[in-house]
Structure 1
Amino acid sequence: MDAVAKEIEGLTFNMLTFNVVNDKITQGFANRIIQIIEKHNIDQVIVIADEVEEPAQFLLNLASAARSICISQTCASYWGGEPLFLGAHELSWAPGMFERKMDKLFIDNRLFLEFLDTEDIKMLRERLPKIDKKIWFASTCLIHGLYGLNYENNGCVVQSCISDGNEVERGLISITHSSRQDERFKSLVKLREYHFIPYPALACYIEY
């Protein structure tokens, strides 16, 4: 990471991707990521990773440093199939991310869709629209019978859809301020190259 920091010294850019596959992001490595983002005032960050040593704290720190964040979960076979997100067991920290600098969050965890269960979705649907900010949130998930959500709550449009007509439980949930409905998450990295599971509906949320 020090070598990376030296390479980009003096450069100006607004997007950066950290690809840490087949390894764990340690606390020290996570701190260096945050330092680089803050030093270069990077607006958008994409993190492609298997696991983080302190996932909730890392994501909250990330939300304090960058305005727009994409988290792409890659293979984590050593979890034994447990539906985790970067090693975290729950999503109670998610609304707290939007209370910081971040106002845009995209989660691509198509390998472990169960990480977002019905209680998590209910919590997000209730709490995110109450945040005094024009937020943009989208995440892969299992629909759990919530297919076809489409309503407005406190200026936020809550929607759900299936990703593929043949996979009725595999879908996405989005909670987005009405003024940002036409926005996409712009990425220089083709996330589909890191996954073997197609997800057609992602085209509605991400732009390469």
Structure 2
Amino acid sequence: DHQARVDKVSTWIGKKIGTVQCQNIYTTKKLNGFTDLIKNAQFVDLKVVADELPDEAAKMLLKTMVTHKVNQLVMAGKFESEADTVTFLRQLAFYTRSIHITQTPYTAPPESTEGVQKRCFGTNAEDWAEIIVELFKSGELDKLCIVNSSHPGYLTASMVDKLKEALTSMDKPIWFAATCDSYPEGYETDAYKGYDVKVNKPATAANQNNQGQSNKCKQYLNIVHESRKDEKPVEDVPIDNK
């Protein structure tokens, strides 16, 4: 039967797994199958692709993080959800040390009156600087990377300045990087309260593709404690720096 096949596959893959990846698992049947498959596994990295993030899937993901003591979470997608995705992100940050988020391009439905310039992790929240600070304060999280080149307005220059002050004053060594917007002169210092802080200057027109849009992140903020300056992002982040 189905359960016997799941148990057989679970035994075949073994207990110790480096990384587990799930992609667009939404239905109850698929969610139950996924949790059955990994119930006896030991792993530290979890990768999730989620264009939709229904409440049931969010609960499953959080339970997986807690049960398996996941150390590193990588998420990519549009993250469309009726749930409060910011609260969900806070819950994730409480249980894991490292989160990498890639927001893929999102187009609002024709009947929607909301803009998408500030879209990030399924929401148009007004102050992502405040959210990011809360994530680091809430629990285990000490490494966060947000790649959102399609909707850079979620993190403005004033928010960058706010993060520079707040994150460098934390009582733990932070590693933070994120795409951002509207910082025309860039910024760089390797001696700001024990942190390397950098925003690259925007790319020149010569580094644009045929559609006149860069296929790389236009501006990218780094706030990295000096003890972690050689640490790389979990996933490669292509940057326009010409």
Q: Contact (CA 8 Å) 1:143, 1:160: kept in 2 or not?
A: no
Residues 51-66 of structure 1 aligned to structure 2 (within 5 Å): 51=79, 52=81, 53-66=83-96
Query: 2:49 is matched by which residue type in structure 1?
Result: N
Match of 2:120 among 59, 73, 85: 85
Listed as ranges, the matches of 1:174-189 within 5 Å are: 174-187=222-235
Q: Sequence identity, in percent?
A: 23
Counterpart in 2 of 1:46?
74
Match of 1:36 in 2: 64
- Equivalence for 2:16: none
Partner Cα separation in structure 2 for residue 125 and residue 18 of structure 1: 29
The 5-angstrom pairing of residues 1-208 of structure 1 reads 1-21=31-51, 23=52, 25-51=53-79, 52=81, 53-78=83-108, 80-86=115-121, 87-89=123-125, 90-91=127-128, 92-99=130-137, 100-162=139-201, 164-165=203-204, 166=207, 170-187=218-235, 199-200=238-239
Q: TM-score, normalised by structure 2?
A: 0.72
Residues in 2 aligned to 1:148 and 1:123: alpha-carbon distance in whole angstroms:
14
* Structure having greater relative contact order (Cα 8 Å, sep ≥ 6): 1
CA distance in 1, matches of 2:224, 2:182: 17
Under a length normalisation based on structure 1, what TM-score does the superposition of the two structures give? 0.83
**Bigger Rg, which one:** 2
* Structure 1 unmatched runs, 5+: 192-198, 203-208
* Alignment root-mean-square deviation, CA: 2.3
Q: Tell me, which stretches of 5 or more residues in structure 2 are unaligned?
A: 1-30, 109-113, 209-213
Is the alpha carbon distance of 1:146 and 1:56 closer, same or farther for their aligned partners in structure 2, counting shifts above 3 Å?
farther
Give the letter aligned to residue 65 of structure 2: I
In structure 2, distance between residues paired with 1:6 and 1:176: 38
Deviation beyond 6 Å, 4+ runs, structure 1: none
Deviations 1:133-175 (A, max 9, x none): 0110000112422413224332122111147443699210110
